[in-house]
A and B are shown apart, each in its own frame.
Chain A
Amino acid sequence: MSTENTIDGEIPAQGAAAEAAGIEPGQAPNVEPPPEPAGNRVIREIMSGNAVLSFLAIVLGLLVASVLIAITDPGVQAAAGYLFARPGDTFVAIGNAIGGAYYALFQGSIYNFQRPGFGSGIRPLTETLTFATPLIAAGLGVALAFRVGLFNIGGRGQIIIAAAVAGWISWSFPMPFFIHMLVATLGAIVGGAVWGGLVGLLKARTGAHEVIVTIMLNYVAFYLVAFLLRTQGALQANGSNNPVSPPADATAVYPNLTNLITALGGPPTSFRLHFGFILVILATIFVWYLLNRSSLGFRFRAVGENPNAARVAGINVKTVYILAMVLSGALVGLAGAAQVLGTTTTGFSSGVDAGIGFDAITVALLGRSKPWGVFFAGILFGALKAGGYLMQASQGIPIDIILVVQSVVVLFIAAPPLVRSVFRLPRPGGVRPARRTRRAAEAVAK
Chain B
Amino acid sequence: MTRRESQDGATLVPTHPAGADAPIVHEKAVMRSLKFPIVLDVFAVIALILAFALPRSGTSTFSLSTAKDLFQIPPIPVPTVATVIAVAILLVALAVLAHLYVARSASGRVPLWLTTVFALLFLFAFLAWASAGKTIPVPGLLVGSLALSTPLIFGALGGVISERVGVVNVAIEGQLLGGAFTGAVVGSITHSPWAGLIAAMVAGVLVAMLLAVFSIRYVVDQVIVGVVLNVLVTGLTSFFYSKVLAADQSLNHPVRFTKLPIPGLSEIPIIGPVFFQQTIIVYLMYVAVIAVWFGLFKTRWGLRLRSVGEHPTAADTVGINVNRTRFWNVSIAGAIAGIGGAYFTLDSVGTFSKEMTNGAGFIALAAVIFGRWDPIRATLAGLMFGFATNLQYQLASIGSPVPSEFLLMLPYVVTILAVAGFVGQVRGPAAANKPYIKS
Q: Which residues of A contact B (CB under 8 A)?
A: 7, 10-11, 14-15, 30-31, 35, 38-39, 41-42, 45, 68, 72, 151, 153, 202, 205-209, 211-213, 215-217, 219-220, 223-224, 226-227, 231, 358, 361-362, 365, 396-398, 400-408, 410-411, 414-415, 417-418, 442, 444-446
Contacts and interface: CB of A to CB of B under 8 A. Distances in A.
Interface residues of B, number: 58
A445 B216 contact: yes
Given A7-B437, A10-B219, A207 B214 contact: no
B31 to A, nearest CB: 14
Given A226-B405, A411-B229, A414-B225, 18 more contacts: A7-B218, A10-B219, A202-B420, A207-B421, A216-B415, A216-B416, A220-B409, A361-B224, A362-B231, A396-B243, A398-B241, A400-B236, A404-B235, A406-B231, A411-B220, A411-B228, A418-B218, A446-B323
Nearest to A151: B223
Contact of A224 (B168, B231, B405): B405
Contacts of A418: 218
Contacts of B413: 216, 220
A400 B353 CA distance: 13
Interface in B234-290: 234-236, 238-244
26 contacts: A10-B219, A31-B6, A45-B221, A72-B243, A151-B223, A206-B420, A207-B8, A208-B416, A212-B419, A216-B362, A220-B416, A227-B403, A358-B227, A362-B231, A403-B231, A403-B234, A406-B235, A407-B229, A408-B232, A411-B232, A414-B218, A414-B224, A417-B218, A444-B437, A444-B438, A445-B219
Contacts of A406: 231, 235
A219 B229 contact: no
B408 interface: yes
A209 B244 CA distance: 40
Nearest to B354: A400
B348 to A, nearest CB: 21
Contacts of B438: 444, 446
Contact of A41 (B221, B239, B420): B221
Interface string B406-432: 101100110110011100000000000
B61 interface: no
Counting from the closest, the 9 A-B pairs by CB-CB distance are A403-B235, A398-B242, A400-B238, A415-B218, A407-B232, A227-B405, A404-B235, A216-B412, A223-B405
Which among B217, B219, B223 has the highest number of chain A CB atoms within 10 Å?
B219
Which among B229, B238, B416 has the highest number of chain A CB atoms within 10 Å?
B416
Given A362-B231, A414-B228, A404 B408 contact: no
A411 B416 contact: no
Contacts, number: 173
Nearest to A408: B232
B397 interface: no
A211 B231 contact: no
Given A365-B224, A398-B242, A213 B235 contact: no
A209 B434 CA distance: 14
Contacts of A415: 214, 218, 220
B235 A223 contact: no
Contact of B231 (A38, A41, A217, A407): A407
A398 B242 CA distance: 6
B217 A445 contact: yes
A404 B362 CA distance: 20
Contact of A42 (B221, B238, B240, B416): B221
Given A213-B419, A400-B235, A224 B409 contact: yes
Given A7-B219, A38-B433, A206-B421, A404 B232 contact: yes
Given A404-B232, A407-B232, A445-B217, A398 B420 contact: no
A209 B426 CA distance: 10
Contacts of A208: 416, 419-421
Which among A209, A215, A401 has the highest number of chain B CB atoms within 10 Å?
A215
